[in-house]
Amino acid sequence: MRLFLLTIFFALFLIPCFAQDKSLIYSENKILGRVLDNKSRPISKIRVCAYPAERPQQGRAPCSTTDDDGNFNFNANIIIDEKYVVCASTLWALIRTNKFPKKYQETCSEPIIFRTKEESKEIELRFKVKVKLK
């Protein structure tokens, strides 16, 4: 009897928690762009990630690090017709360069929506203040 009740509990409560919504359409889309400081100078070694705009992040966020010219690009497995924001953060510079940012800074894009599969979006992220790594 105990095993029967445990099986019923598992079937009714736990399986739906792990099942994916089949109505959602996932797609591999490309996000590319550039990160600039307040004077339009490119910033290198800055972490850029894409996050859902209207729900908590599930799993690891797709990310990239800017090159010497401030450029980034990465593929993101996202849900079609869902809003995402792309954010750049100075926190990653600490890990990549061993230089401490004077203070933590972050800048994010306006929400973007991918309407089709394999679509690309180009984003320019600009910090409002000077980004200084000591």
Number of domains in the chain: 1
pLDDT of residue 108: 93
CATH code assigned at 80: 2.60.40.10
Helix or strand holding residue 58 (H, E): none
Could you tell me if residue 34 is inside a domain? Answer: yes
Tell me whether residue 29 is in a domain: yes
Q: Which residue has 């360069």 as its token pair? A: 97
Residue 58 lies in a domain: yes
Residue 78 confidence (pLDDT): 87
Q: What per-residue confidence (pLDDT) applies to 101? A: 52
Q: Which domain holds residue 79?
A: 23-126
* Residue ranges in the chain modelled with pLDDT below 50: 18-19, 22, 96-97, 134
38 in a structural domain: yes
Residue 104 pLDDT: 74
Q: Is residue 90 part of a domain?
A: yes
What pLDDT does residue 91 have?
74
Residues contacting 85, CB < 8 A, separation 6+: 50, 51, 53, 108, 109, 110, 111, 112
pLDDT at 29: 92
Spatial distance between the Cα atoms of 61 and 21, rounded to a whole number of angstroms: 19
